[in-house]
Amino acid sequence: MGNVFCTCVDQSSIQVIEQFGKYRRMAQPGFNCVCCCIGEAVAGGMSLRIQQIDCRCETKTKDNVFVEVNVSVQYQIQKENLYDAFYKLTDTRAQIMAYVFDEVRAQVPKISLDEVFLAKEEIALAIKAELTKSMSGFGYQIIQTLITDIEPAAKVKNAMNEINAAQRLRLAAYEQSEGEKIRVVKAAEADAEAKYLAGQGIARQRQAIMAGLKESVQSFQTDVTEVGSKDVLTLMLLTQYFDAIKEIGTTGKSTTVFVPNNPGAVADMASQIRAGILEGNAANINRR
């Protein structure tokens, strides 16, 4: 029994047993006996779990911008090719990283920096295809290849951020000017509508005044037959004039108004008002 020892292999792992330095067999998970008396020894072990390698590759794009591409490769040993996986490669991780660097530096220089960010999936698929073709002969299966990060140089990144910020500021300024334009247009439309409605109100007010004056003249002539329409109109105009003077005097914000107060001034004032009305009527007739 002194020439026999046991070895326990973990689950999802495998150990290689050699006899006098030559491959003998694979020790499966669980309890295994190794006979030292016949030259058996444990040469090494391998994990059958999915493993991951993270690669960081620096390369140059088509528009001469240096970027660092982070690639994660997930791989697994093929159970039917355990012998090739153990004996054909000395350093599996270094081999996979070499293929990744080669493929990244073959794909990225063909496209610009902006296209690199858009073509992440295509680059990852190209790396996976190359690794699958190369590593299958060594007993390894490539499960997935992921590009986890694309990082340009610090100055390039700052320049890209400044360009983006400038574009957004220009867009904000444009939107602000459009809003100001709409506000001014709407204010002008509202002012025009207000003036139009005010004009209609003034016209209706004047029509009502004229209708009232006409009715007053007709009523006065009916009751007092000795007075002509001219005298009635003069009286009505003077009444309107004194009402206006009264309104000015009772308004809190009114200023001083100087008016003639001699007896003849009333007749002159009536003449001036009547002359103004006649001139306005004559002008309307000429326009027609």
| pLDDT tens digits, one per residue of 28-71 | 888 888 888 888 888 888 888 999 999 999 888 888 888 889 99
Q: CB of 71 within 8 A of CB of 148?
A: yes
State residue 211's pLDDT score.
74
Q: Give me the phi and psi of 79, to 5 degrees please.
A: -65, -30
Q: How far apart are CA 116 and CA 102, in angstroms?
A: 16
Check whether 287 has a pLDDT greater than 90: no
Length of the chain counted residue by residue: 288
- Give the lowest-confidence range in 38-52, 150-164, 267-281: 267-281
What does the pLDDT read at residue 1? 47
pLDDT tens digits, one per residue of 214-241: 776 667 666 666 656 666 666 666 666 6
Give 272's contacts (C-beta < 8 A, 6+ positions apart). Answer: none
pLDDT for 112-122, tens place per residue?
888 888 888 99
Query: How do residues 87-96 score in pLDDT, each as one tens digit?
Result: 888 888 899 9
Alpha carbon 135 to its chain's center: 45
Residue 72 has pLDDT above 70, yes or no: yes
pLDDT band at 27 (very low <50, low <70, confident <90, very high): confident
Q: Is the pLDDT of residue 2 over 60?
A: no
Range of lowest pLDDT (23-27, 192-196, 273-277): 273-277
Place of tokens 């009232």: 212
**The dihedral formed by the CA atoms of 245, 247, 248 and 253, expressed in degrees to the nearest 10:** 170
Give the C-alpha separation, 237 to 87, whole Å: 125
**């003249």: which residue's tokens?**
217
**115-119, 131-135, 178-182, 284-288: least confident range:** 284-288
Collect all residues with Cβ–Cβ distance below 8 Å to 110 and sequence separation of at least 6: 62
* pTM for this model (two decimals): 0.54
Q: Which residue has the higher pLDDT, 153 or 263?
A: 153
Q: Are 117 and 75 in contact (CB under 8 A)?
A: no
Average pLDDT score over the chain: 80
Supply the pLDDT for residue 40.
Answer: 83
Mean pLDDT confidence for 255-266: 59
Q: Please state the rounded mean pLDDT for residues 169-185.
A: 84
Q: How far is residue 34's CA from residue 54's CA, in Å, rounded to a whole number?
A: 37
User: Are the beta carbons of 178 and 109 closer than 8 angstroms?
Assistant: no
DSSP H helices in the chain: 82-87, 92-107, 113-118, 120-135, 154-223, 229-250, 263-287
For the cut 80, the answer to whether the pLDDT of residue 101 exceeds it is yes
